[in-house]
Structure 1
Amino acid sequence: MSLETGTPGVAPVPRALPPATLARLRPLVPPTLAILAFFAVWELACRLFSIPPFILPTPSASVASIFQFAPAVAGHAGQTLTTTLIGFALSVVLGVALGALVGLNRTAYQALYPLLIGFNAVPKAALVPVLVIWFGVGPVPAVLTAFLISFFPVVVNVATGLATVEPEPRELLRALGASPWEVFSKVSLPRALPYFFASLKVAVTLAFVGSIISELAASNKGIGVMMNQAASSFQVPLVFGGVLLVSAMGVLLYAVFALIESRLTGWAYRGNQG
């Protein structure tokens, strides 16, 4: 009997991971080590310098507070995640449409780009009271704030990706009798995809910022509300637990889009692989 199937009294020989699996896991090692090192330094600093928990709790205490109030935290987290994803989805749909218009039409670019710059310069936190006046306290202001803060990166990146396509491939396809749609789908769209996914990774994290800003100002549910309530009762570990929870959700969604990007636009970064 071979060692792989097991011989009485002999430990089985562990099988090595396939090279393809190792190649997929290798990029995860540096960020994982960096995150672990960050939390280790944070934990050790709090303990070595005896920092009071009401000033800076340890990460272990912050995580423990999440589990301590798990049912309430889950409800607040679900609300924040829902409003964030709805606002983010709106920013993607409308941002791609407007970005395509601006990127493919020079007149639209000249007319709309100054307005977009001016819109992006407005602090979105200043709009939250106006949204509350219009729509009342609840999830709608959070959705709209998430949309407003994540809309601009999508528009700019999509427009840039479409506007910077090299003219030679397009002219070649036109000379070969390709239709405008064929030129767009075979040249412009693939060229714009890296910009599009870059905008998604930025916009999804900004959407969380927008939701939390609105919840901190005026809402009845969400992680921002939970953090306000915890701060008012001096439960500082729970405040930091909310921060860690939002960060974890942002990192997770960022990783999802990065994975999709690597599958669809890996050709664009092949030269940077090492």
Structure 2
Amino acid sequence: MAAFGVMLADGSLIGAFFVTLKPLALGLFISIAVGVGVGVAMGISRLTEWLVAPIFIIAQAAPLAALIPVLTFAYGIGLVSKVLTVCIMAMPVIVLNTLGAVRNTPVSLIEMGRAFLGSPAQIVSRIILPAASPLIFAGLRLGAAAAFIGIILAELLITPTGIGDLISYNQSVADYPRMYAAIAAIILFSVMFIELLERIESWLFRPEKRTR
């Protein structure tokens, strides 16, 4: 606790968080935008699912940390590699949860929309997405957890920056209290962020539709 207080007082912890948040926020935003879109597309099209789903199923099961050196070789040690690391960790979770959410939409609702001559776009926007939203949001929470793992891996394996730099540097100089303080700080932040998402979910959706 003393090391945590010292790092807060000297600004090193806050500065490291600001460095870490940039690739984390970019990667998570891209993962959500692309992941939800791809998941919905697969959910409403069997052909798209047949073509694309195996990629994300393999990605979710594979040890994706092994791809980080490949990303570093291809894109260097800058921001792009770190953002892509966050994406490859978070996106498969979001895509597959969105796919499952869309597939779980009651067929009766879709048939009713078609009976009222709803266009495909209207059926997706007014029936499928509202019905699937609780499960999609649950997938976003899982994706956010994976994104935090991705950014720490990126900062430890690509180039030490942000929280990853605090962890690796303090380990190298055997300053273990500061190292553990940095680890505890990122864990605490990730738990608080995911709890915030859960509170937003509980506010947006009725209790009987929430997914815990």
Task: Say yes or no: TM over 0.5.
Answer: yes
* Conservation of the 8 A alpha-carbon contact between 1:173 and 1:183: yes
Call closer, same or farther: CA 1:270–1:124 in 2, change over 3 Å: closer
CA distance in 2, matches of 1:115, 1:89: 20
Q: Distance in 1 between matches of 2:211 and 2:15?
A: 44
Output the CA distance in 2 between the equivalents of 1:238 and 1:232.
Answer: 11
Which residue of 47, 63, 70 maps to 2:4?
A: 63
- Distance, in Å, in 2 between the alignment partners of 1:177 and 1:67 is 60
Q: CA deviation at 1:150?
A: 0.3
Take 2:121 and 2:27, find their aligned partners in 1: how far apart are those partners? Answer: 30
Deviations 1:164-193 (A, max 9, x none): 211112212322333333322332111110
Select the structure with the greater relative contact order (CA < 8 A; seq sep ≥ 6).
Answer: 2
Measure the CA separation in 2 of the matches of 1:169 and 1:136: 49
Matches within 5 A, 1:1-274: 60-67=1-8, 70-269=10-209
Q: Which moved more, 1:144-153 or 1:76-85?
A: 76-85
For residue 66 of structure 1, what is the amino acid of its counterpart?
M
Which structure 2 residue ranges, 5 or more long, are not aligned?
none
Q: Which residue identity is paired with 2:124? A: F
CA offsets, 1:70-108, max 9 Å, x none? Answer: 322222111111111111111111101110111110121
Structure-2 separation of matches of 1:234 and 1:93:
41
How far off is 1:234 after superposition? 0.9
- Distance (whole Å) between structure 2 residues aligned to residue 128 and residue 169 of structure 1: 43
Give the AA of the match of 1:254: I
Compute the TM-score of the two structures, normalised by the length of structure 1.
0.72
* Structure whose residues are more often helix by fraction: 2
**Are 2:202 and 2:210, in contact at CA under 8 Å, matched by a contact in 1?**
no
% same residue: 28
Task: Decide whether the 8 Å contact of 1:170 with 1:187 is kept in 2.
Answer: yes
CA distance in 1, matches of 2:189, 2:210: 28
Measured in 2, the distance between the counterparts of 1:99 and 1:269 equals 20
- Gap change, CA 1:106 and 1:270, over 3 Å in 2: closer
Letter of the 1:81 partner, please give it: L
Gaps of 5+ in 1: 1-59
Paired positions, count: 212
- The verdict on how the C-alpha distance between 1:233 and 1:262 changes in structure 2, with shifts beyond 3 A counting, is same
CA distance in 1, matches of 2:120, 2:7: 54
SS of the residue corresponding to residue 219 of structure 1 reads coil
Alignment check: 8 A CA contact 1:139 1:219 kept: no
Cα distance between partner residues in 2 of 1:271 and 1:233: 44
Q: Distance in 2 between matches of 1:65 and 1:138?
A: 29
Q: Per-residue deviation at 1:136?
A: 1.8
- The CA deviation string for residues 206-251 of structure 1, in whole angstroms up to 9 with x for no partner, is 1111111111112142111111000111111111111111112212
| Alignment RMSD | 2.0
Contact 1:102–1:109 (8 Å) recurs in 2: yes
Task: Give the residue type in structure 1 aligned to 2:140.
Answer: L
Rg larger in 1 or in 2?
Answer: 1
What is the CA–CA distance in structure 1 between the aligned matches of 2:122 and 2:54, rounded to whole Å?
31
Q: 1:227 to 1:165 in 2, by over 3 A?
A: same
